[in-house]
Amino acid sequence: MNGWTAFRTGISRVLRYRQVVVILFAVNLFSALVLAALPAWGLAAGLGRRPAIRQAADGVDAWLVIETLASWSTDETLRQKVISLGSVPAAGVALMAWLSGAFLNGGVLLTYAEDGRSFNKLGPDPSGRNSPDLQAAPSVEAPEALSSDGPNAWRFRWRRFLWGCWHWFGAFLLLGIAQTVASVVLFVLLVGGAMGAVAAVGGWLTWVIVPLLILVAVLWLALIECTRIAAVIEGTRNIVQAFSGAVRFVLRHVPSVVGLYGPALLLLGLVHALYLWGIMPNLPLEWWALLLVVQQATIAARLGARLVRLAGGVALLQP
């Protein structure tokens, strides 16, 4: 399967299993609400009765930011307040992102991988030890007649979703840590090396290095995501094995991977661009109800764009 076909397949699977988008959106929103509670309370207590909040509500008011930053070194009370109100959400975001991502990815990928297959044929092993044999299953996008499982083959199955979440939770937790460390190291090495090369050779090299870095970043992102996809498709919780499989796949199918990730990232970029330059400049920030609707729609669209990439990746890796 080439990258473009995988991208189109990803779109059709995301549209077919809309429940996945809803689940992820709900988890995202709920997590953010929990994290926002403490700062919201702090804001109400600290600035809620100050008319200054009216100016803050209509945009990034330089003077308020400036006063806060400038008072940082001189106002111990303010410093303690900001640290106590800000550190919990900051740490919470990282923790929640890690936990929820590790938990949900297994179910999401399993749902897309089992697209068109019956629950009974691909169901969990009664022993609970063996993963489903997805590679033995018919190819994705198989017409209903070929799957011989009837119309239920394309239904979203809650139990299978939750089983997938739980089954790969531990492995994906570990994978998240390993890939975060590896990403940081790679970033430091690549950016440091690129800056050194530009300094040694000259500014013109930037025009060569920046596209190369973008390509490497795309491939690295693909590698990270393909590792999880490979784990699910190969039915393994051995992350080393999954990573090896992903490396082999990405290196052997660079055009297909780029063919998928190119349009998928472009789609994500379009969502961002529409939000940042199409909608936000024309939306008064103090109209909070309308703002809330627009922003939540944007989050849903961004989630959808990301899921298209994952579903397309599943289609790409499946034999």
Which chain residues interact with other proteins by CB under 8 A?
24, 27-29, 31-33, 35-36, 39-40, 43-44, 47-54, 56-60, 62-64, 66-71, 73-74, 89, 93-94, 96-98, 100-101, 104-105, 225, 276, 280-281, 285-288, 291-292, 295-296, 298-299, 302-303, 306
Closer residue to other proteins (CB): 91 or 188 = 91
**Token couple for 60:** 């990034």
CB of 94 vs other proteins, minimal distance in Å: 6
Closer residue to other proteins (CB): 35 or 137 = 35
Closer residue to other proteins (CB): 86 or 193 = 86
CB of 130 vs other proteins, minimal distance in Å: 27
| Tally of CA atoms within 13 A in the half-sphere of 218 that contains its CB | 20
Q: State how far the Cα of 242 lies from the Cα of 194, in Å rounded to an integer.
A: 30
CB of 65 vs other proteins, minimal distance in Å: 8
Closer residue to other proteins (CB): 63 or 166 = 63
CB of 60 vs other proteins, minimal distance in Å: 5
- Those residues whose C-beta lies under 8 Å from the C-beta of residue 174, and which sit 6 or more positions away, are 239
Closer residue to other proteins (CB): 122 or 257 = 257
Phi, psi of 285 (to 5 degrees): -65, -25
CB of 286 vs other proteins, minimal distance in Å: 5
Q: State how far the Cα of 134 lies from the Cα of 231, in Å rounded to an integer.
A: 11
Identify the burial level of 185 via C-beta atoms within 10 angstroms of its C-beta, where 0-12 means exposed, 13-18 middle and 19 or more buried: exposed
CB of 16 vs other proteins, minimal distance in Å: 20
CB of 86 vs other proteins, minimal distance in Å: 11
Question: Which residue type, as a one-letter code, is found at position 301?
Answer: A
Q: State how far the Cα of 144 lies from the Cα of 117, in Å rounded to an integer.
A: 9
Q: State how far the Cα of 313 lies from the Cα of 250, in Å rounded to an integer.
A: 11
- Residue with token string 């950016």: 191
Closer residue to other proteins (CB): 96 or 257 = 96
Smallest Cα–Cα separation from 252: which of 221, 211, 213, 222? 222
Smallest Cα–Cα separation from 210: which of 197, 226, 229? 197
Q: State how far the Cα of 260 lies from the Cα of 5, in Å rounded to an integer.
A: 8
CB of 108 vs other proteins, minimal distance in Å: 10
